[in-house]
Amino acid sequence: MPNHDRTFNFSAGPAGLPLPVLEQTQREILNFRGCGASILEISHRSAAFIDVLDSARDGIRQLLGANDDFEVLFLQGGSRLQFSMVPINFIQSDTNRGNYVVTGTWSDKAHQEAANCHGTDMIWSGKENGYSDLPNQTDLQSLVTNDAAYLYYTSNETIQGIQFQDDLSFDTVPTICDASSDFLSRPVDMNNYGMIYACAQKNAGPAGVTIVVIRKDLLAPTINECPGYLNYRNHASANSLYNTPPTFSIYMVDLVCQWLLNDIGGLEQMDQINRNKAELLYATIDELPDMYSGHAVPANRSLMNVTFRLPSEKLTELFLKQANDQGLTSLQGHRSVGGIRASIYNSMPQEGVLALRDFMKSFYTQNSCSN
């Protein structure tokens, strides 16, 4: 069992937060750094909060290696709002279209929403193979259309447990990436991207804030009629204070960035930790194929969301119950696909993954004859 009367929480999101971050929040929650008020209470235009905002922005820049060519925005509305904001901002005429790579549930939803706003092309879909495999860079390069305003993809699909292992890069169009579930989990080369966005509640903080890192030259005024809140330029011009921002969530993002920089040592170190954690579970799945069946093609397995099935629904229910009894919680697969999903984001300690690995092995020993 984990310590601090806390379970090992494998939730896909909102996900666990680093314990040092939670402990610092606890210390500061009543009187924020001598302000005499909580971070939940101070003005978003106060000097104290502007310091937090600037620190969070600088932390993200440092972790990603994002230079002054990029703006870092703190928005609301989650990925769902980005599904609309992207086409509204990037498709400037009837002759431009968004190119979408559909590799799972979330990129499919993004494409559907964009199609409601503007013209789109789904240039690749993994639906026929059950979203278990991914295209390679060369194949996609040949599929980008001549009228493409951008290429959009999701780096990690949480439901299917499938992940691009490298950045995608296209010389002819800006690349836009929904990195919601692997943001700040590994190094990226920002030169490959026009924009990366992520809702925070997987790796970067609590729910409530969406982080957008966008190239400044892509902040051109929109030609079509665009509601003010949906225009990235407005948020950049207002220093992410176009409306009252989610102050507490941004504060937590800042603490997570400082944890990654100072406690972990940066994204290269975080990536190695995450790879080691994922390998513990995937090795167990491969070792015990009579009990556990992974979803994704091995080369494209997610380091964030380990998805697998058991031979029967009865065994799945028993697995979930016994795991929960041992303090291994939120392991049920997404309601649309079932099975098991172990989300092992940055904040999941190796002890939690080892506990799950050991439980998987003992569960196999106790139930292998009942398949």
Query: Could you please report the per-residue DSSP string of 286-319?
Result: HH-TTT-EE-S-GGGB-SSEEEEE-SSHHHHHHH
**Mean pLDDT, rounded, of the chain:** 95
What are the tens digits of pLDDT across the range 74-121? 999 999 999 999 999 998 888 889 999 999 999 999 999 998 888 899
How far apart CA 44 and CA 41 sit, in angstroms, is 9
334 C-beta neighbours (distance < 10 Å), count: 16
At 315, the pLDDT band (50, 70, 90 cuts) reads: very high
Is the pLDDT at 182 greater than 90, yes or no?
Answer: yes
pTM equals 0.95
Give the pLDDT of residue 66. 98
* Residue position matching structure tokens 């609301």: 76
Cβ atoms < 10 Å from Cβ of 289? 9
> Number of structural domains, the chain?
2
State whether residue 33 is helix, strand or coil: helix
Range of the structural domain that residue 288 is part of: 266-370
Same domain assignment for residues 275 and 255:
no
Of 193, 228, 263, the position where a domain reaches its end is 263
User: pLDDT of 259-274, one tens digit each?
Assistant: 999 999 999 999 999 9
Is residue 1, in this structure, part of any structural domain at all? no
| Model pLDDT, residue 37 | 95
Q: What digits encode the pLDDT tens for the residues 192-250?
A: 999 999 999 999 999 999 999 999 999 977 666 788 999 999 999 999 999 999 999 99
The three state secondary structure string of 118-159 is CCEEEEEECHHHCCCCCCCHHHHHCCCCCCEEEEEEECEECC
Residues 140 and 205 grouped into a single domain: yes
Residue 40 lies in a domain: yes
- My answer on whether 85 and 107 are in the same domain is yes
**Interval 136-151: pLDDT, tens:** 999 999 999 989 999 9
The domain that holds 313 is classified in CATH as 3.90.1150.10
Q: What distance in Å separates the CA atoms of residue 82 and residue 30, rounded to the nearest whole number?
A: 34
| Segment 293-302 mean pLDDT | 96
- CB distance 95 to 147 below 8 Å: yes
**Which contiguous run of DSSP H or E holds residue 352?**
helix 350-367
248 and 271 co-located in one domain: no
- One domain, residues 57 and 135: yes
Comparing 371 with 170, the larger pLDDT belongs to: 170
Do residue 185 and residue 294 come from a single domain?
no
| Residue 161 domain-assigned (yes or no) | yes
Kindly list the catalytic residues. Answer: 106, 178, 202
Give the three-class secondary structure for 200.
coil
Residues 205 and 160 in one domain: yes
Residue 9 domain-assigned (yes or no): no
The per-residue pLDDT for 368 is 81
| 312, part of any domain | yes
